[in-house]
Chain A
Amino acid sequence: MIRIELRQTQSRAFTLGVPILSAVIALGFAAIPLLAAGANPIAAYAEMFRGVFGSVFAFSEVLTRATPLIFTGLAAALAFRAKLWNIGAEGQLYLGAMAAVAIGSGVLDITGILLLPLIVLMGAAAGAAGMVAPTYLKTRFGADEVVTTLLLNFIILIFVQMMLEGPLQDPMGLGWPQSAPVLDQGMLPPLMERMRVHSGLVLALILAGLAQFMLARSVWGFKLRAVGENAAAARHAGINVNRSLFGVAILSGGLAGLAGVSEVAGLKGYLTADLSPGFGYTGIVVAMLAGLSPVGVVIAALFIASVFVGADSMSRAMGVSSFLADLVVSVSLLCVLVGGFVARYRIVRASTARAVS
């Protein structure tokens, strides 16, 4: 007989090793679909590597792609720490993006240096607002936030399409469903000349550092972790659980809203209904790969962004579908889940287990 036993201590090697190993396994797994598509896996991997590290521009594209993923990854990581299952980052991203173009495209008569901070704040507020209703429905009626946030993603996306054919439509846009461009002074300045990477990345990194510090060192972070680990015990200890949930919900939604701001005001310049290729959902994978650690989110986002950018360039060169990237990302999530199990438990022979206890 064998049985499964909780490890007494968790080694540091495991907490670091599991995500890295998962990433490697997921990349290795990609050989199967590559072979199925009739491509030479080694050539494909080489092409992916070139697409990521082949030039300064290539790597700057990874940084550009990682920026929204850091925001949505943080959004998921903070919420999941409190066991608040915010799966609505995709919708909250669009709310932030809508706020950014609504304020930033010259509708409001604000100019000069005030515009950009206002866009960032209102974008975050819009994203946060998107998380208020699900959290209210959860705390007041016990409606599962997984389902409400998931369904809200669809509602918000339809709302975006409606706005882009209505009030937010660019009058100069020849009838295309896209918004007017954000004014120049409302744009997040680029970081490097002739590259697309922009200062949204700096904001993302600062917020990741801040989140790491707050989570580990502040009373707020302590309460949040307490609520996540055992809500009943936290309530018993005098923590206002609902208030903690609303707090983290607003932060989580706000971070997801910033992903939308950063994509609109840092990269695209205007809003279309296909702004996000699922950054909200991918943020969940980022957060899980990161073990819900904010600093880990940055590293995980860089990895996932590399997979996407590398797969894109491989896809162009070799004619393999770029859905390969989504495959690798989803497999890495499943691997890190199993890896987390291996790290937490050990399998022992029942006889020896009895001898130990």
Chain B
Amino acid sequence: MIQNNPVGRLIAHVILIIGILIVAFPIYYTFVASTQTLQEILRPPLSLLPGGHFWENYSAALFGGVGRIGGVGVDRLLFNTLVMALGIAIGKICISILSAYAIVFFRFPGRMVFFWLIFITLMLPVEVRILPTYKIMVDLGLIDTYTGLILPLMASATATLLFRQFFMTIPGELVEAARVDGAGPWRFFKDILLPLSKTNIAALFVILFIYGWTQYLWPLLMTNRNDMSTIVIGLRKMISFADADTEWHLVMVTCILAILPPIVVVVLMQRWFVRGLVETEK
């Protein structure tokens, strides 16, 4: 609906701006707090303008080591989380695109059985199977390892189903044309299927990266050592029950740092992401 009425436009803009303010203000406030000293934060009211301790706080958090999490720097937490989020996103995409490829384009005995097995796992998210999964990880000695963090979260029915749906929209004639052109299964996958799934892969990557980045329960169980923590866990550990015991300025810095990578991923892949969700290029 396009309106040329200036009053209508004004009202629309006002509403949008209010909405943005409501969403953005807490983030801005966190940023403001991250540039103050601990004393300034603890002495209300907090100023609405950034303070003068930006470099000090950020370098302290990033490279100085934070006392409450055993002297590990936030840089280490960021790295851990990045490895985990990338591992989950890339691993999930690889596994699900391959299994969807098998289910859609190959006729093998038990094809539907496998499809339903994958489908059923939708009903068993990590939280439901957390104890047996934990036991397996302990038995395999994978506590405090990246493998332990990534592997159980990698198998994904959602992504498989998404790719399956997309593959099923690829016309049979295209597959046949490729066969006539002498493209074997691998060539077909590499030359035709992958390029066609580009936008879907990008969209999934964004979603899965954020999913991996914000994981809480699983890393909480899997990591004991402070230097293997993810940023969300680290953040939790940094907050003490006693207000004065918490280094709030560093907590605020960590919050801002934790938000940044997902934002970067979304901004960089936005174009692909939206296209992947809106249209399927055929």
Q: Report if A and B associate in a common complex.
A: no
